[in-house]
Amino acid sequence: MIVNSITLQNFRNHEDSKVDFAPGINLITGRNGMGKTNLIDAIHYLCMSRSFATASDMYVVKQGSSGFFIEARLSGSIRASFRVTCTYTRGDGKKFLVNDSPLERLSDLIGLVPVVVLSPDDKRLTNEGPAERRSFLDAMISQVYRSYLTDLLEYRRIIRQRNRLLSMRGIRPDMLQIQLEPWNQQLAKAGAKIIARRRTVLARFSEFLEESYARISGIGLKPSFRYKTIANLPEEASEDEIADIFAGLIDENLEKETERQMTLSGPHRDDLILYLDEMELRKFGSQGQHRLFALALKMAQLAYFSDVLDDLPVFLLDDVFGDLDPAKVSILADMLNAHKGQAFITAANQAPFEGLIPFDTAQNRHFTVTEGPLIHISQPQPESDASDDDDDVHLPDE
């Protein structure tokens, strides 16, 4: 998938900006606060319906504005050329269109433009609690299997309804059990679908993780993970068998769940326990090992997408090279050069990439963000591109 251009209006600090991209590696350099992250965050927004840099839509609206607009022109193997637009208005929410046709649900956007993001926040993947790893897993699988996202949204709906019943006061236990029964059946079936899909994907993903970590680290430690899900689940259990085991666990937990007023078992409480050799990373890993493992997870995601999807993913790398030593920068640059898809890198300057990534070709492009703010294209454009008058594109502060 190629993002050919993007137009922003009142997105974060962009008042009215348009940028044309190269089909290969796009490097965006400049001092802090010049607006480097904003551009690739807008790309992510059109891919995943949300910002990767901030949790709330209200924070991506330019100060003093009531909403924002983003439009990208893209091309891929399935859709030769198409447009994705998003309009957000305070109080009215966001609306996405593909070639001027509105999407009925936000979930219809996920997977249309597959994307992988590498950022300093990835350290949370290995350092923090299970929710971070579940989020990573769900975002990855949802971009490959649309049915998984449908099942996930349905499962969350069931959990909300079931928890509502569990939190009711003054209801007799026998009446509560009667009201919970249909939700219990739905929960077991929906949860089994999610667990089965996670298991299938993770079995394949583990191969890419081993390859990525070996290449990045250059040492003999073997990365692995254990998918921690509902108890007493056989390795080769079918989806129906998972549903039966889950249903039994739901019945066993009823008294505890009534006391806690929440659903205590299911894929919403799953985790990926990460290991280097037999050492549990979260408990015993060094800061450097955490950093390399998180990097390997994202590079494995990129490799997995490239293997199973018809279109290569868009790869966004936000300010990640400053923490890497020259040897790791060289390895990552080699992996980027080998990646046949499009990539966007933000960095303070071009120095780490000199001699590693060529920016004097039509395939790659280097943008320098300066005061104004302006983006300067740092090498001559091909004859078919815009005239010299378009070389400076106005960008806002970050």
Is 36 annotated among the ligand-binding residues?
yes
What amino acid occupies position 163? N
Q: Which two tokens stand for residue 9?
A: 């209006």
Is 361 annotated among the ligand-binding residues?
no
Is 285 annotated among the ligand-binding residues?
no
Is 91 annotated among the ligand-binding residues?
no
Half-sphere exposure of 8 (CA within 13 A, CB side): 26
Is 35 annotated among the ligand-binding residues?
yes
Annotated binding site for ATP: 30-37
Annotated binding site: 30-37
